[in-house]
Amino acid sequence: MPLLLRSLLLGAIFSIIIDLVINFFYKVSVHTTVAGMMPGNILTLMIIDPSMTVSILIAVILAATLVGLVRWWLGAHTSGQIFLGYSIGISMQLIAYLILGSA
């Protein structure tokens, strides 16, 4: 299985587990966690292949931002819950790549 796909799956597992644990104490937006995984995965791809263009990253960030704005507009989450979801999604993708890339 390619490194990028293994990294995506491991990052998704880490994100789900962390969201589950945090949701016992504080509400986290799982939608924005998943939306944050997109830029995290593109950043990982940019690390693997430096010839990737930044325009793809910008498009993915705009799509992820739209998810967060809709969740906020619907009143489902506060901005803190949304930003926490983004930070978990992005960081877990990068951590998963660091774990698998060094192995």
- List the helix and strand counts (H, then E) for the chain: 4, 0
- Mean pLDDT, residues 19-29 taken together: 95
The reported pTM is 0.90
The per-residue pLDDT for 68 is 96
Task: Please name the residues in contact with 2: beta carbons below 8 A apart, sequence gap of 6 or more.
Answer: none
Confidence tier at 103 by pLDDT (50, 70, 90): low
How far is residue 35's CA from residue 83's CA, in Å, rounded to a whole number?
A: 11
Task: Please name the residues in contact with 9: beta carbons below 8 A apart, sequence gap of 6 or more.
Answer: none
The per-residue pLDDT for 4 is 87
How far is residue 6's CA from residue 83's CA, in Å, rounded to a whole number?
A: 25
Confidence tier at 2 by pLDDT (50, 70, 90): confident
CA distances from 29 to 23, 52, 65 (A): 9, 29, 13
Tens digit of pLDDT for each residue in 50-81?
A: 888 899 999 999 999 999 999 999 999 999 99
- Mean pLDDT, residues 8-31 taken together: 95
